[in-house]
Amino acid sequence: MGHQTQDTLPDAIRYWETRRIVFNAVLATVVVGWIALTWPHFHNAPPLEGFLFLIFAAAVMNLCYTAAYMVDIPLQYSDFGAPWRRLRWVLWVVGMLFALLLENYWIADEIYPYVH
Burial letters for 74-89: b for 16+ Cβ neighbours within 10 Å, e otherwise?
A: ebbbeeebeebbeebe
Q: What pLDDT score does 28 carry? A: 93
**Higher pLDDT pick, 55 / 26:** 26
**Higher pLDDT pick, 2 / 17:** 17
Q: What pLDDT score does 38 carry? A: 87
- The yes-or-no verdict on residue 4 having pLDDT over 70 is no
45: left (phi over 0), alpha (psi -120 to 50) or beta: beta
Tens digit of each residue's pLDDT (9 = 90 or more) over 35-89: 888 888 877 877 777 788 888 889 999 999 999 999 999 999 999 999 999 999 9
- The yes-or-no verdict on residue 1 having pLDDT over 70 is no
Q: What is the residue type of 113? A: P
Q: Which domain holds residue 65?
A: 5-114
DSSP 78: S
Cβ neighbours of 93 (radius 10 Å): 10
Q: What's the CA angle centered on 86, arms 80 and 87, to 5 degrees?
A: 80
Rounded CA-CA distance 87/80 in Å is 10
Tally the domains of the chain.
1
